[in-house]
Structure 1
């Protein structure tokens, strides 16, 4: 490493120090919570790397759970696993994991919605390598075609049961949802990119057309002009499942659901919306919308069926108002895309930092003696930060009451690297850095030991140059050599030698 050293690691990770040194970027900033949770989340990720007879996989739960598939894998969070793990220096973990999902006949790749092709493309933007995606291209196409056979509605949109989105018991219920349609849009574009790299131009054009059709349908059929939000469109086959659960409210087939939910931001995760839909983001800071001290909440608070935590013998996981790291991760990635790639005046870097700061503070558990320790679990109360799924499991005296400890169903390091510090992965030889840190918030930060396109990058900001003694302002180093700088926080474009993807 060029600037940061192993002594920066919290002492509790001394036993993993060697793994950290050889596998992850190091991060430093003045806020101890950000530093603590950054390394905590890498330690959680490390715990979930499991070696199997088929190679490495990444798990979601540490204990085996009955609804998981082979090797305790669950496809729901695979996109998060790949976005987070793309910054690892060791390729074999994710090479094996990706191959498992699209090649192993026993892998339940469509048991839950996921965005595996898009996430594989996002990874290639960091590594600079396309050998694996090209090797797996036909498998990715077969997976997409499987979704078309199983979940394509006559409208041209995809439908999904909320539970199979990993979003149980939503107010909107099941139907043509912003989730799966955005995922399929992202996957179609990724497949088109891989086809272009492979010189399979007919396949490229076919998947561009699929993506463009989904984009049109999402904007035409899932956008509520009155509510100014992307919503679920209930369908008969999907609502049948919802009604079997005796859930309220009972949505109406053919009418957009009567609730704004956090999933309405997922289209921006894939840069799907055209300009003109940004008003939806006004809800992120609205206390009657999604804003909460430990939020965002998964549904708008103003809705009469908003619910922050399970009651009595209800299911321990409810996407009806709780704070869910899975969803917060998607929202933060979508916000970063909005701030980087759209011209709008609805939200700013201050809003982004507030959500990231709240997310950071959510990842603690208060112990009986009042002390707080780093913690990630299933869902939290958006107003108190209590891990309510865990509380419910304990109240019900369930045998699996501790299953949520170190729950690997979200991202955090990726938000620090690509959002806050602002390393925007690209397919060309340009290193783009655009920190989403409000000016005046911190006097310094550093991201070191970042493996990017076969180079080792260091990105640091030092307001007066006295902290790291490498100069004032924002500076980028490649393999220890200064390659770009500016005196303040802002966007940098630096061209390095090397080959494009």
Structure 2
């Protein structure tokens, strides 16, 4: 999941403090028997806290060294952006290592410990991020929730989030033009440049990004056609 914005806005609103990492040990699936043909430690040179990677990431070995280096670098990026909020809310995934007034998230669905992804999903669905800071940037958190279920097979968790997904969807009704059936945004409020028509006429306007965002939201809840 990439490019959702608002995490640090929520952090500032709730005055969350980043505590030490209370990671869950043993891993939730430690009882499963696994087979390993790779020496996992050998892929972690230059990375801190080897145990976190050993507990969480899939290990790969491919002929293309550049691709392999990028893969493990991306895993390190995920780890650096995981921040513990507090008990009851769990982890949040930020866009910037040093907190700023906007934030976004990274890919979590492939981590072995799924609490990281679930904590982030619930920051939206329990009425946190957008209910407190209101809608700002378009995003595809609904699609991310669906793809999380597809990757993990955790369909009950997906179903348990449906009410929250519907609530998020309805927050965007204020940006819908009932005459055209299209959603509209001011491009600069959505981290995009003005289009030529938008620059000339001013104000919010419809666009592919907003319409595809709405399609992703509705299709993830079974409503997209």
| TM-score normalized by the length of structure 2 | 0.73
Taking the aligned partners of 1:128 and 1:109, their CA distance within structure 2 comes to: 31
Taking the aligned partners of 1:28 and 1:85, their CA distance within structure 2 comes to: 20
Contact 1:102–1:139, Cα closer than 8 Å, also in 2: yes
Contact 1:113–1:164, Cα closer than 8 Å, also in 2: no
Tell me, yes or no, if structure 1 residue 95 matches structure 2 residue 118.
yes
Match of 2:172 among 134, 147, 154: 147
Match of 1:25 among 33, 55, 58: 58
What are the Cα deviations for residues 239-296 of structure 1, in whole angstroms up to 9, with x where unaligned? xxxxxxxxxxxxxxxxxxxxxxxxxxxxxxxxxxxxxxxxxxxxxxxxxxxxxxxxxx
Taking the aligned partners of 1:172 and 1:37, their CA distance within structure 2 comes to: 39
1:332-411 to 2 correspondences below 5 Å: none
Match of 1:86 among 109, 113, 132: 109
Taking the aligned partners of 2:46 and 2:196, their CA distance within structure 1 comes to: 41
1:256-271 to 2 correspondences below 5 Å: none
Q: What's 2:46 paired with?
A: 12
Q: What's 1:124 paired with?
A: 149
Q: What's 2:17 paired with?
A: none
Taking the aligned partners of 1:176 and 1:184, their CA distance within structure 2 comes to: 12
1:418-429 to 2 correspondences below 5 Å: none
Q: What's 1:3 paired with?
A: 37
What are the Cα deviations for residues 296-355 of structure 1, in whole angstroms up to 9, with x where unaligned? xxxxxxxxxxxxxxxxxxxxxxxxxxxxxxxxxxxxxxxxxxxxxxxxxxxxxxxxxxxx
Secondary structure of 2:182's counterpart equals coil
1:243-322 to 2 correspondences below 5 Å: none
Contact 2:44–2:50, Cα closer than 8 Å, also in 1: no
Taking the aligned partners of 2:196 and 2:111, their CA distance within structure 1 comes to: 37
Match of 1:56 among 91, 95, 116: 91
Q: How many residues align?
A: 181
Secondary structure of 1:27's counterpart equals coil
Change (3 A) 1:100 1:2: same
Taking the aligned partners of 2:182 and 2:169, their CA distance within structure 1 comes to: 13
Taking the aligned partners of 1:145 and 1:172, their CA distance within structure 2 comes to: 28
Taking the aligned partners of 1:191 and 1:115, their CA distance within structure 2 comes to: 12
Give the CA RMSD over aligned residues.
2.1
Tell me, yes or no, if structure 1 residue 46 matches structure 2 residue 70.
no
Structure ranking higher in helix proportion: 2
Unpaired stretches in structure 2, ≥5 consecutive residues: 1-34, 199-203
Secondary structure of 1:57's counterpart equals strand
Taking the aligned partners of 2:194 and 2:213, their CA distance within structure 1 comes to: 20
How far the C-alpha of 1:4 sits from its partner, in A, is: 2.2
How far the C-alpha of 1:12 sits from its partner, in A, is: 0.5
Structure ranking higher in strand proportion: 1
| TM-score normalized by the length of structure 1 | 0.34
Secondary structure of 1:56's counterpart equals strand
Change (3 A) 1:139 1:172: same
Structure of higher CA gyration radius: 1
Tell me, yes or no, if structure 1 residue 183 matches structure 2 residue 206.
no
Taking the aligned partners of 2:41 and 2:175, their CA distance within structure 1 comes to: 51
Secondary structure of 2:91's counterpart equals strand
Taking the aligned partners of 1:91 and 1:141, their CA distance within structure 2 comes to: 23
Taking the aligned partners of 2:43 and 2:188, their CA distance within structure 1 comes to: 38
Match of 2:190 among 165, 168, 173: 165
How far the C-alpha of 1:175 sits from its partner, in A, is: 2.2
Taking the aligned partners of 2:121 and 2:70, their CA distance within structure 1 comes to: 26
How far the C-alpha of 1:186 sits from its partner, in A, is: 1.4
Change (3 A) 1:168 1:142: same
Contact 2:136–2:190, Cα closer than 8 Å, also in 1: no
Unpaired stretches in structure 1, ≥5 consecutive residues: 69-73, 193-206, 213-501
